[in-house]
Amino acid sequence: MELQDMSEGFGDDTENNSVCQPSSACDPTRKRKGKKRKSLDHNDPVVKLLDTFCTNTDKRLGDIAKRIGYEYDVSNARKEVYAEVGKIAGLTMQQKLAISKQIVKNTEYLDLFFSLPDEEKFEFVQMML
């Protein structure tokens, strides 16, 4: 049986329907229509709500960052208290420890102590004894 005999029942258009040849559905010149995005309506209540939410969240995160920064600074200052008190001449070790403990417990004392010049820290410590 020859190849011509086998193709007799398929019709004349079988030559054009090859699996290796692109059909009209795969034509590269055919343009595809894309989906259009909807434009953002700034008057939409959901958009306004999200904008307000984001603004409030930004403010709160800023406040939290400031608080964390302050706590970090206070923590570092607490670590330096004993070294600064140790520079004051004429104090016993017990006095240095007692003064350091008082200063560390009270952040107002801590802020004041580190804002004073070295010569005035002595007077501040004497007042606390």
Q: What pLDDT score was predicted for residue 78?
A: 80
Q: Please report the sign of the dihedral spanned by the C-alpha atoms of residue 40, residue 41, residue 42, residue 48.
A: negative
pLDDT of 2 reads 55
Tens place of pLDDT for every residue, the chain, 129 residues? Answer: 555 555 555 555 555 555 555 555 555 566 666 666 666 666 778 888 888 888 888 888 888 888 787 777 777 778 888 888 888 888 888 998 899 889 988 888 888 888 889 888 888 888 888
Domain ranges across the chain:
43-129
What pLDDT sits at residue 17?
A: 56
CA distances from 91 to 87, 88, 94, 102, 103 (A): 9, 7, 8, 15, 15
Length of the chain: 129
Q: What are phi and psi of 44, to 5 degrees?
A: -65, 130
Measured CA to CA, the distance from residue 118 to residue 121 in angstroms comes to 5
pTM assigned to the model: 0.46
Token digits of residue 115: 């804002």
In this prediction, residue 19 carries a pLDDT of 56
pLDDT of residue 53: 86
Residue 20: the pLDDT is 56
- Got the DSSP string for 47-73? HHHHHHHHHHHHHHHHHHHHHHHHHHH
